[in-house]
């Protein structure tokens, strides 16, 4: 999508660099604040026998917060504050989210139903949606990949992978 200016010039629309910088700085400032808070709870001082558990995380969080405040001050008071460059256009963002959102759902699925079953669904979904393969082929390949991974890790290497909170493979004895 693009907008037309008064001069007739087409300007792309999307999320501005300024908005992206503000969002990331605020996110990191919040994250740093949470780490500082928890580090104080754990103890962030240097005591007789060395640093307490929160010592290093506290000072790393201080650096993150100071850096975030520096970015925010540049955004609001810097030379480029009037610029309106586009960080990402809406079409580009839509493409990124079309992969990011299913990946986030996949990570949540791993927590609930384990890596093997979630992988079947993830592979099949992407093959049908982006690859335009049939459901039969997609599910079959998803199962084949998960079975091969299961055999490699669980049986041959004896390294158990996460089965999820509901463990749908419990009937196999794993």
126-169 pLDDT, tens per residue? 999 989 999 999 999 999 999 999 999 999 999 999 999 999 98
The per-residue pLDDT for 10 is 61
Confidence of residue 2 (pLDDT cuts 50, 70, 90): low
Quickly list DSSP for the chain: -EEE-TTS-EEE-EEEHHHHHHHHHHHHHHHHHHHHHHHHHH--SEETTEE-TTHHHHHHHHHHHHHHHHHHHHHHHSTTTT---EEEEHHHHHHHHHHHHHHHHHHHHHHHHHHHHHHHHHHHHHHHHTT---HHHHHHHHHHHHHHHHIIIIIIS--PPP--SS-TTGGGT-
Residue 31: pLDDT above 90? yes
48-91 pLDDT, tens per residue? 999 999 999 999 999 999 999 999 999 999 887 667 789 999 99
Q: Has this prediction a pTM greater than 0.75?
A: no
Confidence of residue 1 (pLDDT cuts 50, 70, 90): low
């Amino acid at each position: 999508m693009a907008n037309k200016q008064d001069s007739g010039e087409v300007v792309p629309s999307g999320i501005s660099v300024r908005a992206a910088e503000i969002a990331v700085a605020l996110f990191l400032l919040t994250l740093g604040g949470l780490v500082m808070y928890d580090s104080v709870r754990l103890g962030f001082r240097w005591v007789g026998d060395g640093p307490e558990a929160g010592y290093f995380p506290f000072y790393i969080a201080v650096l993150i917060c100071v850096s975030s405040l520096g970015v925010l001050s540049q955004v609001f008071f810097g030379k480029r504050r009037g610029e309106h460059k586009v960080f990402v256009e809406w079409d580009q963002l839509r493409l990124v989210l079309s992969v990011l959102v299913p990946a986030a759902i996949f990570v949540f699925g791993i927590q609930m139903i384990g890596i093997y079953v979630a992988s079947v669904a993830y592979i099949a979904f992407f093959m049908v949606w982006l690859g335009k393969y049939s459901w039969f082929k997609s599910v079959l390949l998803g199962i084949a990949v998960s079975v091969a991974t299961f055999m490699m890790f669980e049986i041959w290497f004896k390294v158990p992978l996460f089965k999820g909170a509901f463990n749908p493979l419990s009937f196999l004895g794993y």
